[in-house]
Amino acid sequence: MTSLSRRLFVTGLSAVGAVPLLPINSHANGTQSVLRATTSTAQLTPEGYPRTDVWAYAQQGAGSVPGPAIRVKAGERVSRTLLNELPQPTAVHWHGIRIDNAMDGTAPLTQAPVPTGGEFDYDFVCPDPGTYWYHSHNRSREQVARGLAGPLIVEDTEPWLGLSGAATRELILVLDDWLLNEDGSIVEDRWDDLHAAAHAGRMGNTGTVNGQSYPEFALRPGERVRLRMINFATDRIMPIRLPDLSPTLIALDGHPVAPRSLEVLELAPAQRADIVVDAPATSPETTSLLVDIGRGNQVEFASFRMEGKPVQPSEENVRPLPPWKTLPKVDLASAQNQPLLMNGGAMRGIDEAIYQGETMDFRELTSRGMAWAFNGVTHGMEEPLFVARLGRTVRMELVNRSAFPHGIHIHGHHFTVLSRNGVSAPYKDVRDTVLILADETVELAFVADNPGKWMIHCHMLSHQATGMMGWFEVA
């Protein structure tokens, strides 16, 4: 029999039918809703294969993969009581939200992990419109890989959909990959696989969109649609193509960009992009969402079928999203300069690094499950990487001296990408997670306007767990 991994991730089965939109909560109403972290099952593989045991978020009834979409308007509160029904402690990080430090969900830096049977109240304001997500931030390389993640959508206070040049509707597309056995169960014995962690990370063999293999989405011929795309994968970078849909980028990591066309959208783990697509008015009748899984191997993760009554295609340029009104402007003239050197991993390793206050060589580090370092410190949670005065601009030079790319996420802040390898970045995109290739140097800047202790880490979660993590303080 053909193996499950080959059928699902290499050959590309045909789509298994139309998929409904993700469930959406009503707007926040000031009451404290319950968000359960629980065990559940999901049909990650096509119908006819066994369901997969997962860990999932739920608000009512069974847990779902992805978790229920939380939707509020900019300036509104998210209020949720986390109930932990899992066999491990857990916590929820609200990724990309410029949040109060105590609500960041970063165990154990900002809170103790919530024990089995315990609960924790999250209550915070979402200041900025955009596409975000929430996920476990305790033993996250396992808990996220088991399914503990969901989309968080913050709408602008003024509507964009339906305006001249804008889209008429939107879809949330959550992309993920899963490492499954032949029977559809999650591979259980490789959570602490140091060999994988010292390379590109724990790669899956089964791709899903909105928790399903090869879903099909209906588009009306000629209509303009906004796609909110999120990479939930623990380690996989996803270069995405949308042939025949004329994709236009309008936001990255929640922050608006001047609309620009693109052929390939590269999403590192945790990154998001808002894309406007124009469905073809005549042919083709179907097209695909393709992901390059390596060496140019394009795999269909989902498909789009043109059906229903045609609409008159828009002849206007794509309408920009409203700009954010809350992000402070960086002041490079008086910036605090902070280097961040990344090294370690397979093929190069580390001559030595500090772990838990002790200097160790690479062999000693790997014997303790560590393989990566920031500024010569691995898993550096004892002391801050730096301290910034409240309101000060921080200018960081991120230097990757390893053989693998890293998606670096800064909590509590959005930053401007200034340059790559000494060349000025053409768009000066504002992000919360930046992909840095092997031997690449990226310069970024942000205003340290959010007091507290904030993590910096690689969002290839295998790299984070094996040393590529630290924190800074805004005081």
For residue range 288-336, list pLDDT tens digits in order. 999 999 988 999 999 999 999 999 999 999 999 999 999 999 999 999 9
196/326 Cα distance (integer angstroms): 40
Identify whether the C-beta of residue 134 lies closer than 8 Å to the C-beta of residue 149: yes
Question: Looking at domain 4-155, does it have CATH number 2.40.30.10?
Answer: no
For residue range 74-95, list pLDDT tens digits in order. 999 999 999 999 999 999 999 9
Lowest mean pLDDT among 24-28, 64-68, 279-283, 353-357: 24-28
Question: Can you tell me which residue has the tokens 């190069």?
Answer: 348
The predicted structure's pLDDT at residue 383: 96
The predicted structure's pLDDT at residue 31: 59
User: Burial level of 88, CB count in 10 A (0-12/13-18/19+)?
Assistant: middle
Q: Which of 20, 21, 26 is nearest to 59 (CA)?
A: 26
What's the DSSP call for residue 312?
P
As its CATH architecture, domain 332-474 has Sandwich (2.60)
Q: Which of 298, 197, 283, 186 is nearest to 241 (CA)?
A: 298
468 φψ region: left (φ > 0), alpha (ψ -120 to 50), beta (else) = beta
Is residue 449 over pLDDT 60? yes
| Mean pLDDT of all residues in 171-176 | 98
The predicted structure's pLDDT at residue 15: 31
The predicted structure's pLDDT at residue 283: 87
Identify whether the C-beta of residue 439 lies closer than 8 Å to the C-beta of residue 433: no
| Mean pLDDT of all residues in 254-277 | 98
110/264 Cα distance (integer angstroms): 37
Task: Tally the C-alpha atoms within 13 A of residue 198's C-alpha that lie toward its C-beta.
Answer: 19
Is residue 357 over pLDDT 50? yes
180/202 Cα distance (integer angstroms): 12
Domains 4-155 and 169-306 agree in fold:
yes
Specify the pTM.
0.93
Query: Within its chain, how far is the Cα of 245 from the centroid?
Result: 23
Q: Which CATH superfamily is domain 169-306 in?
A: Cupredoxins -  blue copper proteins (2.60.40.420)
For residue range 106-133, list pLDDT tens digits in order. 999 999 999 999 999 999 999 999 999 9
| Residue ranges of domains in the chain | 4-155, 169-306, 332-474
61 or 304, which is more confident? 304
Residue 399 in tokens: 């230097």
Q: What percent of the chain has pLDDT over 70?
A: 93
Is residue 9 over pLDDT 90? no
| Mean pLDDT of all residues in 236-253 | 98
